[in-house]
């Protein structure tokens, strides 16, 4: 299920794969490249995400995958 983001992007549910957590983000074509950069920069600065992969579709839609290391404190079964 996707939620609308602050800049109109669609954010997918994070997926954990080994030591990494991935989150897909789809940015509509009406979002400028600068706005997309700012939005992803904020996620990197405050959420610890880094850019893993990008796709640019012919209609101008961008799909990016963000990733970050899984925090050991957040893994199920571990005490904090």
Q: What is the pLDDT of residue 64?
A: 94
Strand pairing category for 50-56 and 62-69:
antiparallel
Burial of 76 (0-12, 13-18, 19+ CB in 10 A): exposed
Q: Is residue 61 part of a domain?
A: yes
- Which residue range forms the structural domain that includes residue 63? 3-72
Q: What is the pLDDT of residue 11?
A: 82
Q: What is the pLDDT of residue 65?
A: 95
Cross-strand bridge partners of residue 68: 21
CB 51 within 8 A of CB 66: yes
Q: What is the pLDDT of residue 73?
A: 60
Q: Is residue 77 part of a domain?
A: no
Domain count, the chain: 1
Q: Is residue 34 part of a domain?
A: yes
Q: Is residue 79 part of a domain?
A: no
The pLDDT tens digits of the residues spanning 7-65 come to: 457 788 888 988 999 999 999 999 998 999 999 999 999 999 999 999 999 999 999 99
Kindly tell me if the per-residue pLDDT of 3 is higher than 60: no
Q: Is residue 57 part of a domain?
A: yes
């Amino acid at each position: 299920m996707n939620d609308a983001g602050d800049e109109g992007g669609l954010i997918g549910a994070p997926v954990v794969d080994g030591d990494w957590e991935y989150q897909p983000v789809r940015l509509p074509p009406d979002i400028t490249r600068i706005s997309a950069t700012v939005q992803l920069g904020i996620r990197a600065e405050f959420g610890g995400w880094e850019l893993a992969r990008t796709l640019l579709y012919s209609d101008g839609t961008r799909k990016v995958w963000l990733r970050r290391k899984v925090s050991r404190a957040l893994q199920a079964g571990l005490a904090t």
